Each structure stands twice: as C-alpha cells, then as structure tokens.
C-alpha cells in the first residue's frame, strides 16, 4: 500500500512540478535497539561458543570474527544514517543557495531610478501641456475682456454649454408641425395619414429651418455696429414676410389639392399671385396659422440659441471650454501621479516585506539543517555506544566460558570504527546568513529612502502644477 502511495506522490510532483520545500523535510533517524542487535548478531551464542573453543587465542592481538561483525554492523548503520542525512542536506544547501536577496536589492535600486524618471517625465511633459493650456485660456480671456470693452457689454453672457435643450425644442417644433399639418394633407393624399405626414414633414422642415436661420440673423440688431444693426432689423422684416408668404402659399396649395392633385402647385401659385388672402375653406386658414405659430417658435428658438449678442456667447464658450480643458488636464496629471505613487509605494513596501521573509526563511532553513546535523551526531553517538555495549557483552560472555586467559586486548578500551566526518558546511551557512541579514538591512534602508524620494517628487510635482495655477490667477 505504501509503495502505491509513494508512486502516486512521485507522479503528482512530476506533473505539477512541485519542489519539496526544505521546511517540509522531517528526518527522524532510527535508533539502534540493543536487544535487537544482540539477537541479530548472536552475541550471547557466539560469545559462549567462542569462549568454549578458546577463540580467540590468549596470545591473539587482533579482533576476532564476531567482533569484526559487530564493527561491520556499526559501520553499516553509521553509513546508512550519513547517506540519509547527506541527501537531505543537499536539499537544504540548494535552498540556502537559492535564497539570495541581492537580486531583489538590485531590482529595487533599478525600480527606484525608473520610478523617479517616470515621475519627473510625467511632471515635465504634463507641465508643458498645462502651460500651453493656460496660455490658450489666458489668450481667450484677454480676447473676451477686449470684446466686452469694444462692444460696450456689461452683462454676463447667456451661454449654453450644451445644446441639448434648444435642439430638443427645435426638433419638437418640427415634429408637432409635421403631425398637425399631416392631418390636413392626409385628406388629399392617396396614402392617407402617412402620405399627409410625408408632405407635412417637407413643408415643416422648410418653414422651421428658414425661420430658425432668420431668428439667428435677428441677433445682429443687438450689435454695436450700425451695419449689423441694419441687417438685424431687415431680418425682422424678412421673417414676417417669409412666414406670411410661405404659409399663405402652403395654404393655397392645400386648397388646390381638393381641386386637382396633379396640378395643385401651378394652381396654387396662380391663385396666390391673383389674390393671396382668398382662401375659401376653413382648413387652409388653420394650416396658415399653424405654420405662422411654429415658424415664430423656430425663430425665437434661433434667436435664443446662443447669447443674443453676435459672437459674445461663442467667445465665452471657447474661453470656458479652454478653462475646463485646463482643469481636466490638471486633474488628470494629479491622478496619474497619485496612481503611480500609490502603486510604486505599495510595490516597494512589498519588497521590504519580501526580503524580511526571505531572510527569516533562510534563518529557519539553516536552523533546520543544524537540527538535522545535531540529530545525526546524536544518532551516531548512540550507535557508537551500542558498539561498546556489544563488544563488552561479547568479551564478558567469552571470558566466562574460557578455560584459558582471554587475549590481553579484551581489557583495552573499546573504540568504535573510524568513519569520515560529515561535511556540514554550517560555518559557511551562518556566514551567509549574516551576509544576507546585512544586505536585508541595507535593502530596507535603501527602499525606505526611495519611498521618501517618491513622496518628495510627488509633492514637488503637485506644487509645480499649483504654481502654474497660481501664476494664472495672478495675471
């Protein structure tokens, strides 16, 4: 069952490319059980049999076969522990080498220089644009003031920043006249109401559009120049004449539709020139007055489309639009700087947290590696103590069952088999930790300085924009 689980974990790690983190390594070295070792090596039986057989001889100076087996057993156990530890220490060493905040230090330094350049670029580029916008606004403001002085205007212009309302009124006038007239034209149309409305739309469009244009021309009567005043007065006469003549002709045309649809235009023109006010039916008179009313409404709408003084409202709107554009550019610059400042400060704060976490993790990994080394040393020491116990037990049993004296080396101190010391490299690890801690402190201090520089650049940029505004207000 364990084998299948291990295979499953292998394929899972292979497919997901997951690397075992050092903190996941949990190494427990198995202690050598003395009783099990005694039974495995037959210490008691071999000691008894060798003693009865006077093995080793009294004058023997080298270890006997049973003692060699004990040494071999101890050497094998020690080697297995070291192999197990070496495999895990390789993972720790790789993790220790991978954790290096020097790259983050350089990245933070480069990002700081990039951010500084970006803020300065935004301020310089947008500042130039704001100066141009300010100059444009001030130029229009001077033109506006000069226009008021030259034309002796003392009132604030009636400007409409949006033409939705006057345009809506104009469209409403056109639609209402089309619908009302459509009812009268429908009786003479083969298409009924639809045909009547089609005729009425054309008639209303001509009536409303020309009346609206004459209404705009009437504004000239307010101008200081006599020539334009005269044109405005003539426009008043023109609109009265236009509304009367055009709507009388339309009324005649409607009246002739009942007589001869095909020749209604010719008949209407003849009747109009012979006797303009000779309308026999009530409906043509209604059509005439409807045209007059809606034409006058279109004329009034044209007159109040903008400020009644020619050019005054248009110039004021240009000035106000320039001011709005300038304000919008200011706000956009401030927003860009704020967003950049917040983004970069957050990124640098994250860098500070990351280098702290990396050094803490490095300290933790080295601590785990130290624990592994300590456990290995303790385990090897325990195995070596087992070696002494097994050798002494064998020699004691062997001595008891001998008839002759045991070899002299039996009385010597038992020394475990010599093995190579594991190269843990802990001194270098702690030196690296100290180096990374120093680099961490330098990195945090440097990033804090960069953050202060960003805030200072942001504040100076905002102040520079405010200076442009102040310079404008002082002029």
Mean pLDDT of the chain: 81
Quick check: 15 pLDDT over 70? Answer: no
Largest distance between two CA atoms of the chain: 169
pLDDT, average across residues 253-257: 70
pLDDT, average across residues 56-84: 90
Distances (CA, A) of 241 to 273, 292, 295: 15, 11, 12
* DSSP annotation string for 292-355: HHHHHHHHHHHHTSS-SSTTHHHHHHHHHHHHHHHHHHHHHHHHHHHHHHHHHHHHHHHHHHHH
Quick check: 396 pLDDT over 70? Answer: yes
The closest alpha carbon to 212, from 221, 201, 204, belongs to 204
Cα–Cα distance between 304 and 222 in angstroms, integer?
13
Residue environment code for 33-62, b if the CB has 16+ CB neighbours within 10 A, otherwise e: eeeebbeebebeebbbebbeebbbeeeeee
Higher pLDDT, 17 or 50: 50
Higher pLDDT, 196 or 336: 336
pLDDT of residue 398: 92
Q: 18 pLDDT band (50/70/90 cuts)?
A: very low
Quick check: 401 pLDDT over 90? Answer: yes
Instruction: Tell me the backbone φ, ψ of residue 91, rounded to 5 degrees.
Output: -65, -40
Cα–Cα distance between 449 and 452 in angstroms, integer?
5
Tokens of 134: 């300010």
pLDDT of residue 10: 37
Quick check: 247 pLDDT over 50? Answer: yes
């Amino acid at each position: 069952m364990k084998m299948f689980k291990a295979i499953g974990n292998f394929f899972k790690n292979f497919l997901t490319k997951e690397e075992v983190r050092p903190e996941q390594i949990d190494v427990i070295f198995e202690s050598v059980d003395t009783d099990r070792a005694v039974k495995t090596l037959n210490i008691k039986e071999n000691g008894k049999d060798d003693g009865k057989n006077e093995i080793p001889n009294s004058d023997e100076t080298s270890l006997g076969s049973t003692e060699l087996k004990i040494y071999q057993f101890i050497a094998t156990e020690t080697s297995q522990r070291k192999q197990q530890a070496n495999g895990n220490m390789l993972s720790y060493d790789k993790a220790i080498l991978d954790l290096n905040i020097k790259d983050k230090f350089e990245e933070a330094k480069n990002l700081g220089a990039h951010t500084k350049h970006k803020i300065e670029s935004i301020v310089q580029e947008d500042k130039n644009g704001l100066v141009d916008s300010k100059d444009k606004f001030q130029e229009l403001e001077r033109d506006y003031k000069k226009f008021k002085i030259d034309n002796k205007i003392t009132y604030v212009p009636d400007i409409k920043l949006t033409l939705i309302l006057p345009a809506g009124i104009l469209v409403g006038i056109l639609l209402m006249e089309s619908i009302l007239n459509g009812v009268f034209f429908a009786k003479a149309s083969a298409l009924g109401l639809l045909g009547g409305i089609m005729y009425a739309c054309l008639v209303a469009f001509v009536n409303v559009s020309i009346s609206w244009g004459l209404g705009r021309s009437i504004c000239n009567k307010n101008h200081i120049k006599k020539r334009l005043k005269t044109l405005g007065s003539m426009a008043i006469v023109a609109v009265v004449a236009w509304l009367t003549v055009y709507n009388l002709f339309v009324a005649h045309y409607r009246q002739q539709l009942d007589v001869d649809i095909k020749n209604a235009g010719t008949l209407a023109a003849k009747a109009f020139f012979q006797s303009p006010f000779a309308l026999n039916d009530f409906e043509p008179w209604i059509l005439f007055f409807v045209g007059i009313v809606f034409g006058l409404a279109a004329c009034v709408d044209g007159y109040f489309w903008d400020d009644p003084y020619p050019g005054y409202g248009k110039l004021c709107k240009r000035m106000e639009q320039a001011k709005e554009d300038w304000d919008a550019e200011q706000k956009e610059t401030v927003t860009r700087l704020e967003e950049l400042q917040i983004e970069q400060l957050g990124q640098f704060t994250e860098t500070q947290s990351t280098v702290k976490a990396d050094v803490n993790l490095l300290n933790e990994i080295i601590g785990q590696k130290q624990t592994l080394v300590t456990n290995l040393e303790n385990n090897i020491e325990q195995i070596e103590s087992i070696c002494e116990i097994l050798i002494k037990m064998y020699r004691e049993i062997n001595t008891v069952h001998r008839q002759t004296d045991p070899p002299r080396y039996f009385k010597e101190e038992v020394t475990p088999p010599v093995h190579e010391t594991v190269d843990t490299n802990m001194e270098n690890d702690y030196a690296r930790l100290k180096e990374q801690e120093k680099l961490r402190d330098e990195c945090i201090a440097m990033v804090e300085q960069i953050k202060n520089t960003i805030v200072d650049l942001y504040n100076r940029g905002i102040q520079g924009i405010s200076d442009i505004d102040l310079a404008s207000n002082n002029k």
